[in-house]
Amino acid sequence: DRKMIINALNSGASAFMADFEDSNAPTWANVIEGQVDLRDAVRGTIRFAARKTGRLYTLGPKPAALLVRPRGWHLEEAHLVVDGRPAPASLVDFGLYAFHNAVALVERGAGPWFYLPKLECHEEAALWDDVFVRAQDALGLPVGTIKATVLIETLPAAFEMHEILHALRRHSAGLNCGRWDYIFSYIKTVAHDPARVLPDRAQVGMTQPCMRAYSQLLIQTCHRRGVHAMGGMAAQIPIKSDPALNARALANVRADKLREVQDGHDGTWVAHPGLVGLAREIFDAHMPAAHQIDRLLPDLAVTADDLLAVPTGTRTEEGLRHNIRVAVQYLEAWLGGQGCVPLYHLMEDAATAEIARAQVWQWVRHGARLADGRPVTAALVRQLVAQELSALHVALGDARMAEGRFALAAGLFTELACAETLAPFLTVPAYRHITTLTGGEPMSAHDQTTFNDTRWTGVVRPYGKDQVERLRGTVKIEHSLADRGARRLWAS
């Protein structure tokens, strides 16, 4: 989104992260247009003219530093096939950006700077290091030109922070608390342990002992190794329609950022440009220098038990319903090509949708009891999904429900939440729905109806999509009937 990129770069923040991962629905159009927008932003030529007002958006004199987050190692790019297989999406995003912009960035006094998501171990960090070295060699750039901050957003990675920094030592810019995905990873890692069932998602904040241990350990690790420790994302968005509610939201952001800077973080993130001023005010007041790497936290001793401690709280019907509402609405938007969705005054992305559906799965799997004593069952989840869909229908109207993909989103959510095993990622099974039939764009309502026709039930094809793509171009196609018809027409 060109306008969003321009506004973010002009927001007054020190840096802006362009996201091809959790905030992006990876239709082929989004992937390629995003790369075009970044190419123009790097060269300072990005423009956007609003159709309704005619207003022209351009970069200001001091834009924020540009960082890019490619997709994780677990994702594929179906539209770019190498040796008969979809290319790793992470390499597509990184490769296109580095190839088109790395040299131009260096010439402008900046550099190719990245945020690396979803890492679970130092071997994955070492793989990125190999990629960086190969890319720099191909582009004629010195080793170390590329810099990367690793998001510590999986529970296994929290146990390997030193090793991850060591693996990327030639390119490391630090670590970042990816707290939303971290909660999802906690659920996924302990999924089969009935003693570690989480309370309502809203109750799992950064003041929970396990979350506080994780963030403080990250600070201690980074500062011991001489790199930056970045705080987490504030997902709140300004609420212009309700000043009282907006004041409470800003108070929560203020408390969160104050905790981060007082703990020792060297910077932080916000989801909306409207929060940049507040976050900067707090960090400038309590961290007058560029960083606080000299705060080593020598007395801090975080143990494995601290990281694995179970968050305390209650499980409620409203918490269950909220998970359903958020996940279904987010999925519906994602299937329509939108990966960053404002819902209930928070900017939701794939990470929060992952928490929502994984938590519902965990509650069903272990028959967790709500505060009123009822166990969470697959039948209850299906009942509440139907009720929430009906409520959405009333709120949004017939036209929006008809043109949307709510039935598909609800079906996908229910299938994953009530499955026997926890699917590793929501976006993997959802991805096929934005790459089917239309070359990477979401299916039309007509195509969805045809694709889901019951007459296709039981039809099994003895070949897969990858086989078709591999054989494409190897089959000789003869247009004999068309050729004969054309010749006869010409002869007449």
Domains of the chain, earliest start first: 2-308 (3.20.20.360), 317-449 (1.20.1220.12)
pLDDT score for 489: 60
349 catalytic residue (yes or no)? yes
* Among 384, 396, 375, residue whose Cα is nearest residue 324: 384
Q: Tell me the whole-structure pTM to 2 decimals.
A: 0.87
**Looking at residue 491, what is its pLDDT?**
61
Q: Which residue has the tokens 């005619």?
A: 54
pLDDT at 227: 98
Reading the block at residue 246, the tokens are 């907006």
SS3 157: helix
Q: Which of 349, 357, 365, 405 is catalytic?
A: 349
The catalytic position among 19, 37, 69, 266 is: 69
> What pLDDT is recorded for position 1?
86
Task: State CA 101 to chain mean position distance.
Answer: 23
pLDDT along the chain (492 residues), means of 10: 96 98 96 97 96 94 98 95 94 98 98 98 98 98 99 98 99 97 98 97 97 98 99 95 96 98 98 97 97 97 98 98 98 96 95 96 98 98 98 96 95 97 96 65 47 48 51 51 60 58
Instruction: Provide the pLDDT for residue 484.
Output: 61
Is 321 one of the annotated active-site residues of the chain? no
Which two three-digit tokens encode residue 61? Answer: 């004199």
Give the tokens for residue 462.
């003895």
Task: Compute the distance between CA of residue 293 and CA of residue 226 in angstroms, rounded to an integer.
Answer: 6
- Position 174 scores a pLDDT of 98
> How many residues does the structure list for the chain?
492
> For position 10, what pLDDT does the model report?
98
